[in-house]
A and B are shown apart, each in its own frame.
Chain A
Amino acid sequence: SQTIHQWPATLVQPVGSPLSLECTVEGTSNPNLYWYRQAAGRGLQLLFYSVGIGQISSEVPQNLSASRPQDRQFILSSKKLLLSDSGFYLCAWSGLGGEKLFFGSGTQLSVL
């Protein structure tokens, strides 16, 4: 069966520090991968999605970047965090056709 792992669960970082969030999927090949951000009490904002290794589409211009170094690995990064980067980050995957999304458990990021 397929599983998705996302870590860490919580993270507190100072303004200006770098960020690396990692997400891996097991039990499937060539998944579509997604990073979403959810502000407190708000809906989900799609940040990046990837349909293959090295193929990244950015939905929102911002302080973040994403990379997909391996088929089932998706990394969200920042060189210098801003206060506005705080939020709940969710990784997700879908199969071919991209209909149903399967989400990780999320990372609560607080930038202070």
Chain B
Amino acid sequence: SQQGEEDPQALSIQEGENATMNCSYKTSINNLQWYRQNSGRGLVHLILIRSNEREKHSGRLRVTLDTSKKSSSLLITASRAADTASYFCATPPQGGSEKLVFGKGTKLTVNP
């Protein structure tokens, strides 16, 4: 069953703008992860935020987690054309740490 749901499904912005993607999930989690997938390639892990954390930064990435609303957001600041990709959130289902359940992703296009 699907745990995470990203919003919007697609996002098109200009280079230099910020991109914000959201993820909502259904059950309690230990952590939430964001991955990036370039077209036709495998996924690459970007960042993991634990349930006791509210915000985390990595370079131009900022992730927030609101466990009361069961939601997370990924902010990419000062976007570049090379950021064009699909972005997925993933969570381990309750009680199961060996497997991640992914959402359908947000397709981000950054126009030069």
Q: Which residues of A contact B (CB under 8 A)?
A: 6, 32, 34, 36, 42-44, 46, 49, 51, 59, 88, 90, 92, 94, 97-106, 108
Structural contact, B42 and A99, CB atoms closer than 8 A: no
Given contacts A99-B48, A108-B40, contact A44 B31 (CB under 8 A): no
Does chain A have a CB within 8 A of B88? yes
Structural contact, B99 and A49, CB atoms closer than 8 A: yes
Residues of A within 8 A of B97 (CB): 97-99
Structural contact, B98 and A98, CB atoms closer than 8 A: yes
Given contacts A34-B99, A100-B48, contact A43 B40 (CB under 8 A): no
How many residues on the B side are at the interface (Cβ–Cβ under 8 A)? 23
Residues of A within 8 A of B2 (CB): 43
Structural contact, B104 and A105, CB atoms closer than 8 A: no
Min CB–CB distance A3 → chain B (angstroms): 12
Residues of A within 8 A of B104 (CB): 42-43
Given contacts A43-B88, A43-B104, A100-B33, contact A106 B42 (CB under 8 A): yes
Given contacts A44-B88, A99-B48, A100-B48, contact A59 B42 (CB under 8 A): no
Partner of B42, one of A46, A94, A104: A104
Residues of B within 8 A of A100 (CB): 33, 45, 48
Partner of A46, one of B48, B88, B101, B105: B101
Q: List 30 A-B contacts (CB under 8 A).
A: A32-B98, A34-B99, A44-B88, A44-B102, A49-B99, A59-B99, A88-B40, A90-B42, A94-B98, A98-B92, A98-B97, A98-B98, A99-B31, A99-B33, A99-B48, A99-B92, A100-B45, A101-B35, A101-B43, A101-B45, A101-B100, A102-B45, A103-B42, A103-B43, A103-B44, A104-B42, A106-B40, A106-B41, A106-B42, A108-B40
Given contacts A43-B102, A94-B98, A101-B100, 11 further A-B contacts (CB under 8 A): A32-B98, A36-B102, A46-B101, A59-B99, A90-B42, A97-B97, A98-B97, A100-B33, A104-B42, A106-B40, A106-B42
Structural contact, B48 and A105, CB atoms closer than 8 A: no
Residues of A within 8 A of B40 (CB): 88, 106, 108
